[in-house]
Amino acid sequence: MVGKKDYHTENNYLIKQKTILTVIKKQNIMKNIILLITLTIASLSCKAQNTINRDEITINGLVIIGENKSILISNFGTPLEIEKGYNEMDEVDMYIYKYDGAVFYVIKNLIDDFEITKNKYRLTKHDIKIGDSIEKLKNIFPLSYSKKSETHLSIHIEKYDMYVGFYYENETKKIKRIRIGSY
């Protein structure tokens, strides 16, 4: 009888060990599933806004960012004013070309960024301009549109530390300013 008890005791012990191991395996599987879900949500959150390629950012059909300043005069005429400035971030001189309704910032003879304030300039192939409803961007940039604030919508420029900002009046929902800027 002593041998039988030991066998049952040992068998019960092995069953308990297997049960514990099964529970631990299930817990590890659950942890892995939770980790996978978390990583999936995090990766989807990273794509919280649309992006745009530099070459898609055009003014009246012309690629502007990174181009030589000579295209300004040849395509938009003589500026109203050229102001010398200083870019503190890059620690270099810059020149600000001021036109009626647009300002271009030139660093080392290349157009670095710009701002549009009048509807005589159209941005991208979608002809986005001052006075358009911000609703126009809803189908063009749906992710960014869903994340817009009460006064602006931003789109990251691919491979650059820059963005396109569309600023609008909250009451009228009309775009009042379009700006390319650096983060």
| DSSP states of 49-73 | S-EE-GGG-EETTEE-TTSBTHHHH
Q: How far is CA 22 from CA 18, 35, 104, 172, in A?
A: 6, 20, 67, 62
Spans of the chain below 50 pLDDT: 42-46
Q: Say what the pLDDT of residue 170 is.
A: 93
Specify the pLDDT at position 40.
Answer: 56
What pLDDT is stored for residue 174 in this prediction?
Answer: 97
Question: What is the pLDDT at residue 56?
Answer: 93
φ, ψ for residue 113, nearest 5 deg: -160, 175
CB 182 within 8 A of CB 170: no
Average pLDDT of the chain is: 87
- Report whether 89 contacts 79 (CB < 8 A): no
Please give the pLDDT value at position 181.
Answer: 87
Per-residue CA distances from 71 to 26, 103, 106 (Å) = 65, 14, 12
Three-class SS of 6-45: HHHHHHHHHHHHHHHHHHHHHHHHHHHHHHHHHHHHHHHH
- Residue 78 and residue 81: Cα distance in Å, rounded? 8
pLDDT of residue 45: 46
Phi, psi values for residue 95, rounded to 5°: -125, 135
pLDDT for 20 equals 78
* C-alpha span between 74 and 93 (Å, rounded): 23
